[in-house]
């Protein structure tokens, strides 16, 4: 055969081998798709979250179906380490047991199950953002007794977990069923003698690059004299969104008195890409967005010169991680640099109203919506008394507001302002009010968790068409014709937003609102759908940039509300900003080029798709600012000082999970022993052959082979 034929044969042979290997790999492992891994975050002093080893974590599957299964695992298990498979329903009860003995645990596969719904599920601490709270706060996670806001919190989000955790959403239940079949087949019978048997196992891989704390990981990301540095972590951060009722410019004095109305955009969870934040943040954000929409209709922007008051609506981002957004804004106000085009001074803010966490009680099937106003003053502050009175007089249909004069404020962005402007807030020069739906502990049992989704606020999308002018059907009409009921969250939010808008109208105009503009439950329905169910929704489509090319359809899932890393912008604040522009801005009859060429002080223009998808020029005062902690912008900031948020997120390369049946180990032991025996036999045989060469080979050379002249000649040529 010609050499080329050999080559072809060799190639075919190698391809066959490769194909076989692939199939063998597939035969051994079954990939578990659609899981979200817990990852590592770091702050100035600690690392939190999870990481697997560099090759992943392997453990024998142990399904926790009842509490008793954990007790067996902790006391009687022999074949460890184990991969614990547990539902979200049982997780809060078993996690403390599991963390007591981490050595026998390889990892946790957490799954949301359809059958038993969880009563509570929150991985936040019992006092969220405890170390960034202001004077007057008494909540303490470590000390027993007293008020703890998030009573059901496990605190896992702020702990260093010594093993990986993966979360499988309800849509991936079939993966758990597959795993259960494997578990029942191999692991269940005779559990006391698991060791030495083939067992159903799982491997989780979520290796994190960063470690120790933010200082160490930032140092390792930036410095390396010899090699190109490997980035191991990034600061958390994104964008804040703000919008003023009237344009603010450096030289217009009449609208310098500001009422600051704020809410938060972001939520969080332990797992990558799963942070729905329905009750934690979306309800507050939607209330703010719709109230701003109504107020802009009640007071047209062209009447700006008539009024001496302005309203500044602001959405903070990154609040779940020691108030990143609000700390930055408070810091920038102190530095005199926020908002960039017409900086505020703290004295300009006559009242700060925060729409806090108000979604928790919406899951209760009840017409009423009892709200609380936290007022951190014992003295009577006129601005607050007036606001509360107006608010109460505007209240309608089942919503109640109970003031609570208490300096122990729940977690909210007010803490950032109280820390930065302690003199002003303490004296009442910067009066503050916080609206919540709880008094002592969160009514939301799923605070900052993967399960805080649309179900948690009982949201059902009604899918009512919107005409091509963007008109929404008034709430009362929808309730009257039976489309909505008073108990629906859309109706409640619309009514609350109306009250807020009318209260602010009275504050700006100095008289009670007499018109009939109100927030439509139809608009709230659409907006909740966009933030909780699908980005491919009418509102976001209309608020999208009108681009000339073919568009990519947005995914039919909600945008994650986790703040993410500052280097990569996330979509949630962009959506909120565009919605504000579309709903509150002034429509100008301009084409794209003229739209962007226009320059009016205090305004900016956006060319959006609009309701009939043809493109519309919107003039707005909406703007964005950085939500990156001052800790990362102040030169030589001491990251251990605890003054500002120092959260960073670790870099990782891949996250995956797979199941397989691990061998009993007998095969491996037999192979090792037989290998050793074969080597030994071969060595003995060789030795015997060498010593008795003369007997076997008739013309065997003499023993002194090495000293032979011919042989040393060969050695010489080899050596030199």
Partner 1 sequence: MDLTRLPNDKKLELCKWYFKVGCLLLPFVWGVNAIWFFREAFLKPPYEEQKQIKKYVLMSAAGAVAWLAVFAVWITIFQLQRVSWGATGDALSFIVPLGRA
**Residues forming the site for partner 1 (CB under 8 A):** 51, 54, 207-212, 216, 219-220, 223-224, 226-227, 230, 232, 712, 715-716, 719-720
CA atoms of 436 and 355, how far apart (whole Å): 7
Cβ atoms within 10 Å of 95's Cβ, excluding its own: 21
Closest CB to partner 1 among residues 305, 712: 712
Closest CB to partner 1 among residues 220, 352: 220
Closest CB to partner 1 among residues 221, 280: 221
Question: Least distance to partner 1 from the beta carbon of 223, Å?
Answer: 7
Closest CB to partner 1 among residues 61, 210: 210
Question: Least distance to partner 1 from the beta carbon of 208, Å?
Answer: 5
Closest CB to partner 1 among residues 591, 653: 653
Closest CB to partner 1 among residues 23, 219: 219
Evaluate the omega torsion of the peptide bond into residue 106 and state whether it is cis, within 30 degrees of 0. no
Question: Least distance to partner 1 from the beta carbon of 9, Å?
Answer: 43
Question: Least distance to partner 1 from the beta carbon of 198, Å?
Answer: 31
Phi, psi of 32 (to 5 degrees): -105, 105
Under 8 Å CB-to-CB from 623, ≥6 apart: which residues?
241, 242, 243, 339, 340, 341, 604
CA atoms of 287 and 281, how far apart (whole Å): 10
Of residues 165, 149, 217, the one with CA closest to residue 49:
165
Question: Least distance to partner 1 from the beta carbon of 411, Å?
Answer: 31
DSSP per-residue string spanning 63-110: E--SHHHHHHHHHH--S-SEEEEEETTTHHHHHHHHHH-GGGEEEEEE
Question: Least distance to partner 1 from the beta carbon of 715, Å?
Answer: 7
**CA dihedral sign of residues 581, 587, 589, 594:** negative
CA atoms of 205 and 703, how far apart (whole Å): 59
E strands present in 571-705: 586-588, 604-608, 616-620, 623-628, 648-650, 656-662
Question: Least distance to partner 1 from the beta carbon of 53, Å?
Answer: 8
Closest CB to partner 1 among residues 511, 716: 716
Token pair recorded at residue 31: 């990939």
Question: Least distance to partner 1 from the beta carbon of 695, Å?
Answer: 32
CA atoms of 151 and 293, how far apart (whole Å): 35
Token pair recorded at residue 248: 């603010």
Question: Least distance to partner 1 from the beta carbon of 54, Å?
Answer: 7
Question: Least distance to partner 1 from the beta carbon of 646, Å?
Answer: 17
Helix ranges restricted to H, 140-269: 173-186, 214-222
Closest CB to partner 1 among residues 196, 713: 713
Closest CB to partner 1 among residues 331, 652: 652
Question: Least distance to partner 1 from the beta carbon of 410, Å?
Answer: 36
Contact criterion met (CB below 8 Å) for 155 and 126: yes
Closest CB to partner 1 among residues 367, 712: 712
Strands 199-205 and 165-168: unpaired
Q: How many CA atoms lie within 13 A of 436 on its CB side?
A: 22
Helix ranges restricted to H, 152-253: 173-186, 214-222
Evaluate the omega torsion of the peptide bond into residue 439 and state whether it is cis, within 30 degrees of 0. no
DSSP per-residue string spanning 670-701: HHHHHHHHHHHHHHHHHHHHHHTHHHH-TTPP
Question: Least distance to partner 1 from the beta carbon of 565, Å?
Answer: 18
Question: Least distance to partner 1 from the beta carbon of 220, Å?
Answer: 5
E strands present in 93-231: 105-111, 165-168, 199-205
Closest CB to partner 1 among residues 230, 591: 230
Closest CB to partner 1 among residues 170, 715: 715
Question: Least distance to partner 1 from the beta carbon of 262, Å?
Answer: 38
Closest CB to partner 1 among residues 55, 698: 55
CA atoms of 584 and 289, how far apart (whole Å): 9
Contact criterion met (CB below 8 Å) for 210 and 40: yes
Closest CB to partner 1 among residues 45, 113: 45
For the chain, what's the residue count? 720
């Amino acid at each position: 055969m010609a050499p080329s034929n050999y080559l072809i044969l060799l190639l075919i042979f190698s391809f066959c081998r490769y194909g076989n290997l692939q199939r063998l790999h597939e035969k051994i492992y079954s990939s578990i798709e659609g899981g979200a891994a817990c990852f590592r975050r770091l702050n100035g002093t600690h690392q939190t979250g999870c990481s697997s080893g560099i090759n992943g974590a392997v453990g024998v599957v142990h399904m926790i179906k009842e509490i008793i299964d954990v007790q067996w695992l902790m006391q009687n298990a022999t074949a460890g380490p184990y991969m614990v498979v547990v539902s979200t329903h049982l997780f809060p009860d078993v996690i403390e047991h599991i963390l007591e003995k981490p050595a026998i645990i390889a990892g946790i596969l957490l799954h949301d199950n359809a059958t038993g719904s969880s009563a509570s599920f929150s991985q936040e601490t019992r006092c969220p953002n405890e170390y960034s709270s202001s004077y007057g706060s008494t909540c303490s996670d470590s000390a027993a007794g007293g008020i703890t806001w998030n009573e059901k919190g496990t605190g896992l989000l702020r702990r260093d977990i010594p093993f990986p955790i993966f979360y499988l959403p309800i849509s991936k239940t079939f993966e758990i069923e597959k795993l259960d079949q494997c578990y029942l087949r191999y692991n269940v019978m005779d559990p006391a003698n698991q060791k030495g048997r083939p067992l159903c196992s799982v491997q989780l891989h979520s290796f994190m690059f960063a470690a120790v704390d933010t200082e160490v990981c930032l140092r390792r990301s930036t410095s390396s004299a010899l090699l190109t540095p490997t980035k191991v972590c990034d600061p958390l951060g994104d964008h804040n969104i703000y919008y003023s009722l009237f344009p603010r410019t450096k030289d217009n004095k009449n609208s310098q008195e500001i009422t600051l109305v704020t809410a938060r955009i972001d939520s969080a969870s332990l797992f990558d890409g799963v942070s729905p934040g329905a009750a934690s943040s979306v309800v507050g954000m939607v209330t703010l967005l719709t109230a701003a929409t109504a107020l802009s209709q009640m007071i047209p922007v062209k009447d700006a010169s008539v009024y001496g008051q302005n309203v500044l609506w602001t959405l903070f981002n990154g609040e779940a991680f020691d108030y990143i957004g609000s700390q930055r804004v408070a810091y920038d106000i102190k530095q005199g640099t926020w908002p960039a085009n017409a900086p505020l001074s703290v004295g300009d803010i006559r009242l700060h109203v925060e729409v806090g966490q108000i979604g928790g009680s919406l899951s209760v099937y009840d017409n009423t919506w009892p709200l609380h106003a936290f007022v951190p003053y014992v003295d009577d502050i006129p601005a607050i008394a007036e606001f509360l009175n107006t608010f109460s007089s505007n209240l309608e249909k089942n919503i109640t507001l109970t003031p609570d004069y208490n300096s122990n404020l729940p977690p909210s962005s007010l803490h950032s302002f109280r820390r930065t402007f302690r003199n002003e807030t303490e004296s009442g020069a910067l009066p503050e009010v916080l609206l919540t739906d709880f008094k002592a502990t969160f009514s939301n049992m799923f605070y900052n968790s993967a399960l805080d989704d649309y179900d948690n606020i009982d949201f059902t999308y009604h899918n009512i068409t919107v005409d091509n002018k963007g008109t929404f059907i008034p709430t009362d009409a929808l309730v009257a014709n039976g489309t909505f009921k008073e108990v629906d969250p859309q109706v409640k939010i619309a009514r609350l937003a109306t009250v807020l808008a009318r209260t602010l109208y009275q504050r700006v105009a100095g008289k009670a609102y007499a018109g009939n503009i109100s927030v439509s439950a139809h608009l709230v329905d659409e907006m909740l759908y966009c933030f909780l169910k699908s980005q491919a929704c009418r509102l976001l489509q209309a608020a999208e940039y009108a681009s000339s090319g073919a568009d990519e359809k947005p995914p039919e899932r909600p945008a994650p509300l986790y703040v993410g890393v500052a280097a990569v912008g996330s979509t949630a604040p962009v959506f909120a900003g565009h919605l504000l522009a579309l709903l509150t801005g002034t429509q100008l009859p301009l084409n794209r080029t003229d739209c962007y060429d226009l320059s009016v002080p205090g305004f900016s223009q956006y060319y959006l798709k609009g309701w009939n998808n043809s493109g519309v020029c919107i003039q707005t005062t909406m703007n964005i600012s950085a939500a990156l902690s001052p800790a990362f912008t102040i030169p030589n900031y001491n990251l251990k000082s605890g003054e500002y948020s120092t959260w960073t997120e670790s870099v990782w390369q891949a996250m995956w999970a797979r199941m397989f049946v691990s061998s009993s180990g007998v095969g491996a032991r037999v192979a090792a022993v037989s290998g050793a025996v074969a080597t030994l036999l071969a060595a003995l045989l060789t030795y015997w052959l060498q010593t008795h060469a003369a007997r076997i080979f008739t013309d065997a050379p003499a023993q002194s082979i090495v000293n032979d002249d011919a042989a040393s000649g060969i050695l010489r040529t080899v050596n030199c």
